[in-house]
Amino acid sequence: MRFGLRTRVAIAFGVVSLVIAAAVSSATYFFAGYYLLNQREDSALTRALLDSRAVGASLSAGLSPTQSLEQIPTIGSSQALVRIAGTWYTSGVTVPPDALPPGLLDTAASAGGAQQRAAISGDPYFVVAVQLTDAMYVEVFSLSDLDRTLTIGAWLLAGQTLVAGAIGVVIGRYTVSQVLRPILRLGAGTRRIASGDLGTRIDETGDRDLDPIAASFNDMAEAVQSRIQRERRFSANVSHELRSPLTTVVGTADLLDRRREELPEREAGLIAVLVEQVHRMSQMLLDLLEISRIGGDDPIQVETVDVSLLCLDVVRMRNLSDELVTGDSPVIRTDGRRFERVVGNLVENARRHGGGVESIRVERRSDTVRVYVEDRGPGIDPAQLEKLFEPFTRGEDAHHTSGAGLGLAIAREQANLLNAELLVENRESGGARFIVEIPISRDNQDSSADDGNGA
């Protein structure tokens, strides 16, 4: 699974923040622990040396070992021990003499003193041993409070590291959102242009780094709009100029066709072919004129439309059975003329290229109305689905059927003007299914509710 750019950048920011925070926290913990432990050991060593001198002086003065240990002030959790002639005397019972590190005592006896960190009964201690004239003085300092402090500090630093990682994720996501915002604006503008809104432009924000991109996009959109308008004007002009002579040709061909029975068989066959091709060219010119006018000066004329009755009109005008139309009977407000042309072109496409119309089904949804036009053909090559609605696009049966490939393009353009969506898919049982999905406005819903109450 590949994450999106925003997620990847956010994760990268989080990981970097986590690594940096972990490195800083680890360094802080180790340096703080090293410093505090050395401070505690130096302080304990100084005190143990002073206490050993005090105990040695008391023993030299004739005091008993117990009395000598009682002369030492008790600070914190330290414990003093003294060994005389193999016998241990202690001022507390926290650390028994047999738990002392034996190697430390041997080192102290030979070197005059020694110090060592040791774990006694699972707790950390700092042990200092000093060899006196006739005795061995040992003082044990507990490091549990320092170890507890360092543990709490470690947890706090770990928590701060996780918080830093989370903050890094938030900052990364916010940063990439700011970076992607102009790109998203470009993407939205491109989609609007692709949907037919050629007047789409991107406003400049005053950012000297981003405004050139917006200006380039606007220049591109202006060039595309101008070129498409020129092409439409060219198509309209050519079609208009050809219409008058073609009308004359059509009239002449129809006149000859009416007298075809009076002509020899060979000439009659030629006239039949001529009439067919002339009418085909006439329909092509009408389609070109219509597709060149779409989006021009022809405004949307909103009216109340019964979708089921509109579909019935479409099939009746083509001498098809009313039983083809099934489903709901929603009433919406839209341009009935354009909507009828969309459904009509789909029906004509099914008749010419899809082996005939299988069914026309109307479905009312929560906020849309769908019209399904299904044919009896073999279906559509998946490679052709994406470009099926482009002008002059014809399917695999183009050599066996008439048409210039403008019907579906006109249907798509008309649907765009109605804010409707035109889809196509292959049915599992065979054949193609064209879907017109038109949104239902609040007015449509209110009028439908009123109709239901009136019933």
Q: What domains sit in the chain, N to C, each tagged with a CATH number?
A: 5-150 (3.30.450), 211-293 (1.10.287.130), 303-454 (3.30.565.10)
- Find, among 450, 446, 435, the residue nearest to 327 by Cα: 435
Q: What is the pLDDT of residue 364?
A: 93
Q: Do 41 and 126 form a contact (C-beta atoms < 8 A)? A: yes
Residue 447 pLDDT level (bands cut at 50, 70, 90): very low
Residues 6+ apart with CB under 8 A from 66: 89
Please determine, for residue 328, whether its predicted confidence score (pLDDT) is greater than 80. Answer: yes
pLDDT at 391 over 70: no
pLDDT the model gives residue 331: 92
Least confident of 15-19, 61-65, 91-95, 126-130: 91-95
Mean pLDDT confidence for 277-288 = 70
Structure confidence at residue 368 (pLDDT): 92
Whether residue 63 is predicted with pLDDT greater than 70 in this model: the reply is: yes
Contact status, residue 311 vs residue 343, Cβ threshold 8 Å: yes
Q: Helices 336-353 and 307-317: crossing angle, nearest 10°?
A: 50
Span between the terminal Cα atoms of the chain, in Å: 54
> What is the pLDDT averaged over residues 180-207?
78
Q: Pick the residue with more confidence: 151 or 189?
A: 151
Place of tokens 């099934």: 326
Q: What's the rounded mean pLDDT across residues 189-218? A: 78
Helices (H), 259-335: 265-293, 307-317
Measured CA distances, 225 to 184, 194, 201, 238, 391 (Å): 21, 11, 11, 20, 17
Per DSSP, 428 falls in state: T
Q: 132 or 252, which is more confident? A: 132
What per-residue confidence (pLDDT) applies to 330?
92
Backbone phi, then psi, for 18, in 5-degree steps? -65, -45
| Lowest model confidence (mean pLDDT) among 210-219, 243-252, 347-356 | 243-252
Mean pLDDT of the chain: 81
Q: How confident is the model at residue 309 (pLDDT cuts 50, 70, 90)?
A: very high
Contacts of 175 (CB under 8 A, 6+ apart): 9, 13
CA atoms of 65 and 53, how far apart (whole Å) = 13
**Residue 214 phi, psi (nearest 5):** -65, -40
Q: 153 is written with which tokens?
A: 């500090």
Average pLDDT over residues 338-355: 88
